[in-house]
Amino acid sequence: MTLTPVETLITIGIVTLGTMMTRFLPFLLFKGADAKNSYINYLGRVLPYASIGLLVVYCLKDVNLKSPAYGASEAIAIFCTAASYYWKENTLLSIGAGTVIYMLLVRL
């Protein structure tokens, strides 16, 4: 523990405050505007798809393409996850299979 307990509490409080600002902002900003504002309505319909795409890339942001494997473990595991889901539509099966394949690949 580098900080004093009070400094730690303040830092935890600040990180919580920052997180909650990002989570509550849209709900406070567009309170009551939902049905009338067609621009926000439109964004609310298309953003879920763009957000999940962003989230997948976000998960892969620290993949080191300069390592000997060039991110191949991630690519193969993602392909297996997506392909098996496309085929069988079984969420837990695809997630389980993808994760096991990834854990095996990173041990090679």
Partner 1 sequence: MQEKTKALKAAFPHTIPILTGFMFLGMAYGIIMESKGYHAGWTTLFSLVTFAGSAQYVAITFLTAFFNPTAALMMTLMVNARHVFYGISLLEKYQKAGKYKPYLIFGLCDETFSIVCSTKPPPGIDQTWFFLWITLLNHSYWVLGSLLGGLVGSLISFDLQGLDFVLTALFVVIFTNQWKSQDDHKPAICGVVCSTVCLIVFGPNRFLIPSMVIILLILSGWRRSYLEKYELVEEPIP
By the criterion CB under 8 A, which residues form the site for partner 1?
1-3, 7-8, 10-12, 14-27, 30, 34, 38-44, 46-62, 74, 77-78, 81-82, 85-86, 89, 91-92, 94-95, 98-99, 102-103, 105-107
Q: Compute the least distance from the CB of residue 61 to partner 1, in Å.
A: 4
Q: What number of other Cβ atoms are within 10 A of residue 94's Cβ?
A: 19
Would you state the structure tokens that stand for residue 18, as one six-digit string? 């920052």
Q: Compute the least distance from the CB of residue 105 to partner 1, in Å.
A: 8
Q: Compute the least distance from the CB of residue 87 to partner 1, in Å.
A: 10
Q: Which of 29, 51, 25 shows the shortest CA–CA distance to 37? A: 29
Task: Give CA separation, 48 vs 5, 45, 55, in Å.
Answer: 40, 7, 10
